[in-house]
Amino acid sequence: MSDNEQLRLHAIVKGRVQGVGFRAFVVENAVVIGAVGWARNRWDGSVEVMAEGDRETLEKLLAVLQRGPRVSKVTQVDQEWGAASREFRSFQVKSTY
């Protein structure tokens, strides 16, 4: 696996992650570190994130997800890794699922 191989990270963030600016926090940080994809609230109270980039970029994003904004409380981040689809051009908030 080369360092610049594009990967996909699918994460479900659990805890107090809705109503605390979590999605905006993810978007802001993802743009800064260079990840593309989306974040959305789920009906079960979690936040779902689909992101693509190289391993280093996605590891940085994963650290962001585990930390969350100051007023959030992340209790768990479930993650799945795979090959990038290269379908994303930016990072944005999607509608609740």
Q: Which residues are annotated as catalytic?
A: 23, 41
Say how far apart CA 63 and CA 75 lie, in whole Å. Answer: 13
Strands lying side by side in the sheet with 91-93: 73-83, 6-16, 47-54, 36-41, 91-93
